[in-house]
Amino acid sequence: MESVLNPVEHLQHIFGPAINRVSTNHGIPVVHVHTNQISAITRYLHANEKLRGTLSLLWAVDHRPRDVCYELCYLFTLGESKDWLIVSTDLPGEERLFESITPKIHAANWYEREIRDMFGLIAHGHPDLRRLVRHNHWPKGVHPLHKNFPWNSVLQWRQPPGSVDGQFIHGEGVFEVPVGPIHAGIIEPGHFRFTVAGEPIMHLDLQHFWKHRGVEKLFEQQTLSGGVALAERITGDTTLGHSLAYCQAVEMLWEIHVPRRARYLRSMFLELERLHNHIGDVGGICNDTAYALAHAHCSRLKERVLQLNDRLTGSRFLRGVNCVGGVGIDLSTDQFSELVTELEHIEKDFTELEQIIAVNASLIDRFESTGILKKQTAWDHGVVGVVGRASGIDRDLRRDRPFAAYDELSVRVAGSLHGDVRARVQVRVSEIHESIRLIREIQRMLPDGPLKGDRQVVPDSGAWALSAVEGWRGEILFFLMIGEHEQIHRCKVRDPSFVNWPAIQMAVIGNIIPDFPLINKSFSLSYAGNDL
Amino acid sequence: MFKILKKSFKTGIVTGQYPPAPTGQKISVAPTAQKKAELFRKSLTIREVDTGSCNACEMEMNALASPIYDIERFGIHIAASPRHADALVVTGPVTINMEGPLKDVFKTTPNQKLVIALGDCAINCGIFKGSYAVTGPVDQHIPVDVRIPGCPPRPAEILQALEDLRKS
């Protein structure tokens, strides 16, 4: 009987009275459940063979002053269909405790720690409730996303900074190697604490959020139309991905119909962003095996793409390209032919380089079987993007939930089952070729027409939208809820790095520390996007 | 081996293939910085410190090391440790979590040292100004000698600024 039911009916069939009500928002079913049932229902969604839900996002909303309650929302991406389903529950009044789902769903781990830091809501039964965003020197009782916490508060240290709570392993011959927050290269800050016995890594404890700038709170100071510049600066390497996800959320709220030409241009710029980042990463990964030749060539090619971006849009990182309703920049036919000719050169150049890389024995030796992320581990942690696809998680929003112009383009999704550094390099290489192919397809199909659509409605306070973009790193999610006078009430940003960072802790186990930079680069995660 | 050589010959020398930096940049150099910069006219070693940037400034700093800009041809090196550095290049607004590490890095860098605030965020916190998690621009915590504005400044501009500083 269950097989013919849709997922919501399926849940209603099993949990009946625990479900308060069911609603739909922009086509996403929302199941409102009783707080004490949240663990049982999410566990069922996750483990049931037919539903196979992956936790994609977990966030809280402070409904004050409209309503004295917090709401917790759990977004699941369901198995084969890749449909979305939200489970939500209210914590009324002064209620601060909710049941942790982390013991059953690993993907919830950092989300629940984040909610504790930002809202002061405590996930009861969470196995590791150390501070995540608020480092130890932050004062007690500060929860920045409380509505009564002023965005421009000045925080006083309660102790000198520096001390961190690590997870320690003791024993004979067990050593700890702390690294960071400031690293040797030109990279972002993060603290890694390795526990080793001899050469192999037994355990890695990540301490991030050094760069926490309060992005989500800053969004709450913006109106819907004013948030684009901030979205572009969440993580500079994904300027376009984040601004696109933000604009799409606003467009859903304002029911803007984005013209076809604008949607095609958005897809094209998104592929350009993917291109320069993937080329740079392939070079970076080679550099971490000390293969400087490939690094030099890749950084040369990456620079060519960035200069191309600059010539086409006036910004190397595609800033100012997206605006609410469409795009702010159009390309002439001449510019398009310049773009396609340049990409042809770049592809030829890159293919020659690829042939050199592919037969380099010492490179293959370092890549193969290094930093394996097993499919089951990736699934348990809800890993997304390139890293997920390299571990056999066949998900790509461009195909699964088409946005921009991807419903009219056919995206060939790359993938691998090996889950090692080599697989991640191979997926990137395939995606580089696919991006160039897509841009050619876009050039052929590009329709004429306006670049910007107009807003249709004035949404009520409390309306919300959830938007998703497959950026070069993976799924970027934006939850946007509006308050009074079109002020943003809550903006939850999820960069793919946030879900992929915990998975790196699993991928390094058994590897040696000198391989860590290589594994880390093959994941290529953002610190800024993670820390917000 | 043959393929590698062929590729190198085919590619040729790419250094310098970038559009020149626009003139009239508003780079500000503190009066004391000129004297300090004299010491590093022939060789300058930089340590980059990110205190909360969006990572676009990092990408532009990385681009400087690419064959196209090849910063080493000017005798500028990028060091792995602040103990080896003559200059700190700081990017991003200083976050509450990075304030401590920034001060530590400043203490560890030997004197004489230059501090270069790179990008709008490092100079005035940019779009993150006022946030509870940001404790101020770089000069609130350590003395700054040179300010290179931009969001982010292009590599050619950074290169130009470093060159000007050492020539003057």
Q: Which of A217, A302, A528 sits opposite B131 (nearest CB)?
A: A217
Q: Is the dihedral of CA A248, A249, A250, A252 positive or negative?
A: positive
Residue A432 lies in a domain: yes
Give the end of a domain, one of A107, A124, A141.
A124
pLDDT in tens, A466-493: 999 999 999 999 999 999 888 999 999 9
Position A8 pLDDT exceeds 90 = no
CA distance A136 to A502: 20
pLDDT at A17: 86
Give the end of a domain, one of A108, A124, A140.
A124
Interface contact flag, A299 B62, Cβ < 8 Å: yes
Closest CA to A35 of A96, A105, A111, A99: A99
Q: Which of A155, A186, A298, A313 to mutate to test the interface with B (most CBs of B within 10 A)?
A: A186
Residue A530 identity: N
Interface contact flag, B95 A135, Cβ < 8 Å: no
A445: pLDDT confidence band, cut at 50, 70 and 90? very high
pLDDT at B47: 94
Please tell me whether residue B72 adopts helix, strand or coil conformation: helix
Pairwise pLDDT comparison (A497 vs A157), residue with the higher score: A497
Interface contact flag, A213 B100, Cβ < 8 Å: no
A1: pLDDT confidence band, cut at 50, 70 and 90? very low
Position A32 pLDDT exceeds 80 = yes
Same domain? For A102 and A229 the reply is no
Same domain? For A491 and A354 the reply is yes
Give the end of a domain, one of A75, A98, A124.
A124
CATH code assigned at A118: 3.30.460.80
User: Which residues 106-125 on chain B approach chain A with CB closer than 8 angstroms?
Assistant: none
CA A301, distance to chain mean position in Å, is 26
Same domain? For A330 and A456 the reply is yes
Say what the pTM is.
0.95
Q: Which of A137, A161, A235 sits opposite B54 (nearest CB)?
A: A235
pLDDT at A257: 94
CA distance A524 to A58: 23
* Residues A378-382: contacts with CB under 8 Å, at least 24 apart: A378/A419, A378/A503, A379/A54, A380/A105, A380/A106, A380/A107, A381/A106, A381/A107, A381/A499, A381/A502, A381/A503, A381/A506, A382/A54, A382/A55, A382/A56, A382/A106, A382/A107, A382/A499
| Average pLDDT value for residue range A421-438 | 95
User: Which residues 9-68 on chain B approach chain A with CB closer than 8 angstroms?
Assistant: 10-11, 14, 18-19, 48-63, 65-68
- B134 interfacial to chain A (CB closer than 8 Å): yes
Position A442 pLDDT exceeds 90 = yes
Residue A131 with chain B: CB contacts under 8 Å:
none
Question: Which residues lie across from A22 on neighbouring strands?
Answer: A31
What is the CB neighbour count within 10 angstroms for residue A376?
A: 10
CA distance A248 to A324: 8
User: Which residues 263-302 on chain A approach chain B with CB closer than 8 angstroms?
Assistant: 280, 293, 296-297, 299-300, 302
Q: Which of B14, B55, B132 sits opposite A151 (nearest CB)?
A: B132
The count of domains in chain A is 2
CATH number of B26-167: 3.40.50.12280
pLDDT in tens, A224-238: 989 999 999 999 999
CB-facing half-sphere around the CA of A230: CA atoms within 13 A: 25
Residue A236 lies in a domain: yes
pLDDT at A79: 85
pLDDT in tens, A386-412: 999 999 999 999 999 999 999 999 999
- Residue at token pair 């790196």: A504
Position A356 pLDDT exceeds 80 = yes
Pairwise pLDDT comparison (A79 vs A316), residue with the higher score: A316
User: Which residues 139-198 on chain A approach chain B with CB closer than 8 angstroms?
Assistant: 144, 149-155, 160-162, 181-182, 184-189
Q: How far is B90 from chain A (nearest CA, A)?
A: 11
pLDDT in tens, A79-92: 878 899 999 999 98
Query: Mind listing the pLDDT tens digit of every residue in chain B (168 residues)?
Result: 788 999 999 999 999 899 988 877 778 888 888 888 888 888 999 999 999 999 999 999 999 999 999 999 999 999 999 999 999 999 999 999 999 999 999 999 998 899 999 999 999 999 999 999 999 999 999 999 999 999 999 999 999 888 888 876
Q: How far is A30 from chain B (nearest CA, A)?
A: 33
Q: Which of A189, A234, A300 sits opposite B50 (nearest CB)?
A: A189
Please name the residue of chain A whose CA is at the shortest distance from the CA of residue B18. Answer: A307
pLDDT in tens, A494-515: 999 999 999 999 999 999 999 9
Q: How far is B109 from chain A (nearest CA, A)?
A: 13
pLDDT at A4: 65
CA distance A427 to A424: 5
Same domain? For A355 and A501 the reply is yes
Residue B59 with chain A: CB contacts under 8 Å:
236-237, 280, 317
pLDDT at A108: 94
Range of the domain at A236: 215-531
Interface contact flag, A300 B66, Cβ < 8 Å: yes
Closest CA to B145 of B93, B99, B95, B106: B106
- Residue at token pair 């186990």: A509
Position A2 pLDDT exceeds 60 = no
Q: How far is A491 from chain B (nearest CA, A)?
A: 15
